[in-house]
Structure 1
Amino acid sequence: MASDSGNNMDREIILADFQACTGIDNIAEAIALLELNNWDLVAAINGVIPQENGILPSEASGASRLGADSHQPAAAPLASTSSSSSPLHSSSSSTSTSAVCPPAESPRPSRMLSFRVEYRQRSVEVVLEESGTVGEIKQILQTELQVPVSKMQLKGWKTGGVSDTTVLSSLHLPKHNSLYILTPDIAPTASSSQSSGLQESQHDSFLLIVSHHEAQRDYSLNFPGGRTIQEVKRNVSDLTNIPVRHQQWEGWPASAPNDSVTLAASGISHPCHHLSVSRRPASADSQEAPEESTDVHMQSDSEVEDFEDVCEFGDEGDMFVTQPSGSSKRPLIPDRAENEGDALLHFTAEFTSRYGEEHPVFFVGSLEAAFQEAFYGRARDRKLLSIYLHHDSSVLANVFCSQTLCADTVVSCLGQNFVTWAWDVTKEANRARLLTMCTRLFGSGLAQTLRSFEADRFPLLLVAMGKRASSEVLHIIQGNSTVDEQQEDSRDEDEREARELVKREQDEAYRLSLEADRKKREALEKEEAALSLQEQMRKEQEEEREAIRLSLEQTLPTEPKEDSKEPVSKLRVRTPSGEFLERRFLGSCRLQVLFHFMASKGFPLEQYKLLTTFPRRNITQLDPLCTFLEAKLFPQETLFLEAKD
């Protein structure tokens, strides 16, 4: 019982000392750590506060006391002062505590060092404790760069004699350091250069020369390597007015899987690549969108609901006052014509019988089809849309048709610049059908405007323009207009188009000027980048040569003294500049030492050769393992350097 109580007392003292040294306030945690070390106080402290050399900081000052109390040498490590079989006794607990636990300061943590390591085009950041070694840095770099440690020369140390086992703390390094790697035995691999080239090409500029067949012109477009083929096609669509779905290309590489790949990964030529674009044939376009054209005709021929809605407008107040005609003329369009194509054929035939063969060419088909013919064709083939609306009850109909609409100048102008569609609104059903079509294509505003015209203000000629999804009626010419007025309107329109053409030409010239400036700027930037790259490569080569020279200089043996007991050969070498290099070598040294000496002075044997004066011999062709005595360079010899051819 007394023994158990004594052990408990010892453990309480050890526990108190352990908490005092480590600063651990949690008793359960402190007991668990002591239990792991079999209540060995020093071992437990070392487990919580590890030291670099196994000696506590206080041992230098308390070595005498520790040695006296524990009967151990003053500088012995902690492991030698502890016992693994029994806990410390109370007689030595207080002394050990005073030796291992500094009362005023805590152990200094190991300092962290940062290294920025440059290798070819890469830069790697390495952070390591000061207690680490140079070899550990190389191990980290091997993982990052895939370069074997045996092939790696880590350069940039402030002091010489650094090996893989050198501890960083012994070099007294600053917190931030810069190093570089030399790998003379390793050439850049194809895969690494290929991947790095692909990453760099993402930022390169690609010049695409796109030939537009229909317009017979070329576009020079600059795009970064990260731009996709789809984005290029969208930009070309804005220039050529050819939608992406209708574009037909030549020149894209077969290696490009789809339009989502970037230019850098598509396999096109750099920096310039030629392409050509054209619109797909009409047969291909009609096959791509059969539903759209079918839907248009179905709407125009069988839109019953719209037809009934427009008829309701007529019930509120007739837009056209139908007056009985005294003539026996047949209507231009029969009442409730089912097919618009047949209705326009009948209109053309009846109009010809009334006013003769000289008249505008009327489009045969629905208004939607005329709309598409005018606005959905190729850019160079697009025209304005003119809509002629006839009413037999108007007294102006015959005069307008015979003197204005069928005039040579008007017929010629309409034939060259317009798609002309006609309709007869004399019958109520045909009037309602027209309102339905106009509402669908131009909006309800035009229908309301037509509704406000009375019969005696007919006929009407509507001039509309559009660009696919958007369209508008620019002008409504009434039946009391004359040819002179039409010609004046045509002149105004020509002047407007001429002004727009000048503006477009100015915009194009400004765009070309900006493009030329951009090309000059990019060429200058490329030239500066090339010069910078050349300068960087030159510096790397100089650094590599200097590193090799220093490495050879370190391998040279010590120069023997003149009074050496061994045979000494004294050599005097004349350089191409006229200077002399003098050095002594042991006669037993091999010629390889002489070759290393010359390379360390900046004269590698790959570029120079060593010659004797008389008889003339080329020393560099001798066996490098041959000694100075065997080469007959003893006791002295004068050599001269000569550049190789």
Structure 2
Amino acid sequence: MVDVADKVAYFQAITGVEDTDLVAEILSAHNWDLELAISSFTSPDQRSGLNLDDNINDTNNQSLLPRHNDFDEFVTDQLVRDEFVTTNQTNPRSGLVVNEQTQPPPGLVWKLVTLPFSIVSASLGLVSGAIGLGFWAAGGVLSYTFGLVGGRGGSGSGEAPVSAAVSEAAAFVAVFEREYGVIRPGFVVEGFMDALQRSRREYKLLFVYLHSPEHLDTQGFCERTLCDEAFAAFVNENFVAWGGSIRMSEGFKMSNSLKASRFPFCAVVMAATNNRVALLQQIEGPKSPEEMLAVLQRVLEESSPVLVSARLEAEERRSNIRLREEQDAAYRAALEADQARERQRKEEQERLANEAAEAERKLKEEEEARERAAHEAAEKKAALDRLREEKALALGAEPEKGPDVTQILVRFPSGERKGRRFLRTTKLQSLYDYVDSLGCLEAEDYTLFSNFPRVVYGQDKLSLSLEEAGLHPQASLFVEINS
């Protein structure tokens, strides 16, 4: 538990009140609840002219606490105020003029929605044991109990949404660039948890800067040290940098977790085992670029063996994983090849069986078709024979020559000729019946015609007599197969 001196120092660092007795009295009035005391002191009611003595004596005055309908509303309220306005307030007990920011830090609500956060403070010589190379090499997943420091959001009530942490980081970077320029450490636009995991993935340490806008040394430290070109280049090359304002939710929580009691405040941390963060170095108070570089260089040199070993072990682990994957892939390929050959063998057997069955089926179908065709041909031939006989009988006996008899000669496409005598009153239909009865044609659709001049005796003339058709007393007709 944080002792009395630490609470007093922290209250002074946050509020800017220099009177130690006054700070102790404020904290005592709030049962030494640091967050409640800070929230009450920086409440809008205090800035509107309420007497400080009256307010600190009433620890149950709920008007001093920020009120919000839900967590998202509270975070949004913290983010939208990126302009910091300083007002002067005279403390009625001490006469001290306190520079106070118009935007209060996160209030008591953070005590209700966050979980404890473990910080391992150790010298670099002992850090390798706390880190655990396996954690870095295997890339183990940090527990979501880091919800305190703005990690990845989840369904638990103690974890802030990812968008809130990212928005705070973006707001901090935007304000910092606007006030101090673009030559600065490359603060990542991520929550602390994501920045910590980024440093683990890149095998770097995490440089943390907590920004106290109202502190007297802040502007000079930012302008002369953080924005020093050589210092910024060194940090960007060797560290992952994360910054946050203590006037915002995540920055305020980190200042609690790291027990920041003096500003400007910087720290160097790295991910450790058992869901903890190893605090390698903290730097409090204003420092020159040279002093900061010396400290960071020393931390970097002392932690280098740990990072190098972790990197080598990770590469070896990745190599082993890659080798196992290649072996597994080779085994799977061999197994798949065996399975493919077995499938091909079965498919070939099935194909041959199917082909044999298909050939047998086709042979049977062809045989049935031949039998059916032969049967149909026989039936057709029998039908034609009957038809020819019927038509021959219908023609009657061939008449003897005489003036009423017409001689007809029929020439077939094969060159064969057939002739017969008919009465002149015989219809042209009888000529077609005569041709059909001869059985000289395989085609059933044909037409009779004469040459010189060409006259076709088609369906429209079948009812004419031979004399009416101009074929009496004799004529020579040709057979034309219709296509």
What is the TM-score normalised by the length of structure 1?
Answer: 0.23
What TM-score, normalized to structure 2?
0.29
Structure possessing the higher relative contact order (Cα contacts under 8 Å, 6 or more residues apart): 2
Which is higher, the Rg of structure 1 or of structure 2? 2
